A and B are shown apart, each in its own frame.
Chain A
């Protein structure tokens, strides 16, 4: 069974996931951030692979990626870092990167490494459904890897149903038709969208992302979904206050 699915068996409400960028703010912070998030009782962690041209990310995550690349991060180092905590870390990890990173590394080699690190869930925002169906579905199945799909307010019901049938971990519900970045509030339009999705009675668990930044937006999202992901707001805080202060950011959200 997929690691996130297992998690849902124990807990399926108010799940908090945090996105962070590997190698940020310092090259060797990857494992420190994961340990700190685990200590702060984050339910699962989205591990971001820094990319030079992250089209689906906002300026905060792009800046952190650029900084991480300047720090000298690369895929081999990320996999080494993740291997080093494989035995101690108990919090499920989801890997997020762009398709070209996997393509260049070698798709099979990439999947092998991911599995070796104890990870079985990927988010690749620029992997479209048609490419998944034509090729990647089979590749991922070979390695026992699950792909997470995104849906937006503009995704048709037909497409959402299809995504539901492909999803084994969760569906990533994009809070608004926008790129990542804290927006500060949940609008009526977003609520209508969440309600529409909820009313579809999908099989998959729903995790809301994009624009979730604090306790109030987290709670609002959780009233329509199984949990939410915070990215940019966390990266901003991490860049400013460092790894030692991670608990100060997380505690107010889950208390």
Chain B
């Protein structure tokens, strides 16, 4: 049976999705659309993808029972350790898959956008692995606040191009990447999240689905049941959440919680809580929920975390929100920082600032003693150390 959470032939999840692209991009997007499913489902791809995930990325990532965190919140909390992937986050699941697709399509030049730099690093990594040319677009502000990742990308041989327009963050990096793609249609745009024109959101979700695929058998081993009661993941564009939710979307008894960045507070004017502040609109080629003013101008979002300050969400998430299949919560900068310090102190794990938002909703939930939760620990916090140190001193 086809899931209602799969896109239709025009790339729509309910009213969200589609491919709102200038004619200049049509041949590129069409080429990908015509080939991606066939490639992903081919035996050759699966063999190579799974082998790289195992031996290069280090999968399966552990599903760790966080004993002290569980005691503190009075429930059974498991952490899906995507932070233990090579390059430090879930992003590499997608880049390994897409680089194989790019190769299959005969592409030699890769471009990508990045916010926190994790997707940029993951892209630069697979380009180094495959000997392909790599250019990463990154907002000027993010280049400053994520300096270690910029250095890693350069060491990996990527060219990092500063996006200097608009808010100089993820949205603008994506604009610049799409512009470059229009000018250089022979390049492969290795998009980092479940955003962009169809088929990108579906392709990235399929490549991140490995997260929930593993969760199923790991939970079965540990609890006797494949399904947890609740899955929590942070959402910027939404790729780690899409991966963690993917194989559970049709199982209505599994509660899905998406956590957005509230910045200084949902209604402070400095926020990235798209589902709360947005309305239906078009961004980066996709119809979704979007933060915009009364004239459709895109509003610049804010979050302490460079991976979550995106003014939209992927169309799948817009659909999960509208259909109420997923519950959307949010966490402020302050709450995320507190959650990061807490996990570090009681479990010895320094999470990425993005991931910390997912952990930050635990104190806000009414948990039952026997409730089984999985928090998708999407990335590690090495890249955020300077922010953590700065706020620790205060």
Contacts and interface: CB of A to CB of B under 8 A. Distances in A.
A53 B175 contact: yes
B24 A101 contact: no
B285 to A, nearest CB: 7
Contact of A128 (B21, B27, B178, B290): B21
B52 interface: no
A240 interface: no
A26 to B, nearest CB: 19
A130 B297 CA distance: 24
Contacts of B95: none
Interface in B165-186: 165-166, 171, 175, 178-179, 182-183, 185
Given A53-B171, A154-B185, A101 B296 contact: yes
Contacts of A74: 295
A150 B27 CA distance: 13
B22 interface: yes
B22 A56 contact: yes
A154 B296 contact: no
Interface string B92-113: 0000000000000000000000
B217 to A, nearest CB: 40
Contact of A177 (B20, B183, B294, B295): B183
Nearest to A53: B298
A152 B21 CA distance: 13
Nearest to B20: A126
Interface string B269-299: 0000000000111111100001010111110
B296 A100 contact: yes
Interface in A63-94: 66, 69, 74-76
B166 to A, nearest CB: 7
A103 interface: yes
A212 interface: no
Nearest to B281: A100
B56 interface: no
B228 to A, nearest CB: 38
Contacts of A58: 179
B183 A179 contact: yes
Nearest to A155: B23
B295 A101 contact: yes
A150 B20 contact: no
A174 B27 CA distance: 14
A241 interface: no
Nearest to B23: A150
Contacts of A52: 166, 297-298
A66 B182 CA distance: 21
A192 interface: no
A53 B20 CA distance: 13
A104 B295 CA distance: 6
B51 interface: no
A100 B183 contact: no
B24 A56 contact: yes
B285 A100 contact: no
B169 to A, nearest CB: 13
B122 interface: no
Given A55-B175, A66-B165, A178-B182, A103 B22 contact: no
A100 B179 contact: no
B294 A126 contact: no
B282 A103 contact: yes
Given A154-B27, A179-B179, A100 B292 contact: yes
A44 interface: no
Contacts of A75: 295
Q: Most B CB atoms within 10 A — which of A55, A74, A101? A: A55
B377 interface: no
B281 A103 contact: yes
Contact of A178 (B171, B183, B297): B183
A163 to B, nearest CB: 8
Contacts of A131: 18, 20
B10 A130 contact: yes
A103 B296 contact: yes
A125 B179 CA distance: 13
A100 B282 contact: yes
A119 B40 CA distance: 47
B20 A128 contact: yes
B262 interface: no
Given A53-B175, A126-B285, A179 B182 contact: yes
A62 B165 contact: yes
Contacts of A174: 23-24
Contact of A151 (B21, B23, B292): B23
Interface in A44-65: 51-53, 55-56, 58-59, 62
Nearest to A74: B295
A210 B339 CA distance: 51
Interface in B200-214: none
A149 interface: yes
Given A99-B282, A100-B292, A177-B183, A125 B22 contact: yes
A101 B179 CA distance: 19
B19 interface: yes
A53 B279 CA distance: 16
A105 interface: yes
Contacts of B182: 55-56, 177-179
Interface of B: 10, 18-24, 26-27, 165-166, 171, 175, 178-179, 182-183, 185, 279-285, 290, 292, 294-298
10 contacts: A53-B283, A66-B166, A101-B297, A105-B296, A126-B22, A128-B23, A130-B19, A131-B20, A149-B23, A155-B26
Interface of A: 51-53, 55-56, 58-59, 62, 66, 69, 74-76, 98-105, 125-131, 134, 149-152, 154-156, 159, 174, 177-179
